[in-house]
């Protein structure tokens, strides 16, 4: 399956080019197939507030509120072998994984105030 936006959301051409460019950079950095990385980035693309990208409308691109990839494949590749990271991102519910990561970060930060010296 090619990295095509219609499989994921109604992205405009500019957003597709930006995501593909990021996939190429990440693929080169980690020695990964661009198409696999691109499909993952299409699934994990969010705006700067962590919301799924809005559908494109005339006169406004999908990236008007910024672009992040959550959860981050790049971060996962720092801890997992490449094939394991790719497989995880290809089969898991990534929104649910991102929610768990957010809760863990929140608890980690707030529970630090309750530890004894």
Q: Minimum mean pLDDT among 8-17, 32-41, 86-95: which range?
A: 8-17
Q: Minimum mean pLDDT among 34-43, 54-63, 64-73: which range?
A: 54-63
Phi and psi at residue 27, to the nearest 5°: -60, -45
| Residue-level pLDDT at 58 | 75
Q: List b or e across 28-51, with b for residues whose CB sees 16 or more CB atoms inside 10 angstroms.
A: eeeebeeebbbbbbbbbbbbeeee
More confident residue, 56 or 67: 67
Alpha-carbon distance of 77 to 32, in angstroms, equals 11
| Residue-level pLDDT at 10 | 73
pLDDT-derived band at 98 (thresholds 50, 70, 90) equals low
Which neighbouring-strand residues pair with 69?
Answer: 45
Write out the DSSP string of 13-37: HHHHHHHHHHHHHHHHHHT--HHHH
Nearest to 23, CA basis, from 63, 69, 64: 69
Q: Please state the rounded mean pLDDT for residues 13-27.
A: 93
Q: Please state the rounded mean pLDDT for residues 4-14.
A: 67
């Amino acid at each position: 399956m090619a990295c095509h936006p219609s499989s994921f959301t109604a992205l405009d051409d500019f957003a597709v080019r930006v995501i593909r460019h990021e996939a190429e950079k990440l693929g080169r950095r980690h020695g990964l197939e661009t198409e696999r990385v691109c499909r993952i980035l299409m699934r994990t693309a969010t705006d700067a507030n962590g919301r799924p990208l809005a559908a494109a409308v005339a006169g406004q691109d999908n990236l008007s509120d910024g672009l992040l990839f959550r959860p981050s494949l790049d971060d996962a590749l720092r801890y997992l072998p490449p094939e394991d990271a790719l497989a995880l991102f290809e089969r898991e519910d990534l929104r649910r994984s991102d929610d768990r990561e957010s809760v863990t970060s929140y608890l980690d930060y707030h529970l630090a105030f309750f530890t004894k010296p």
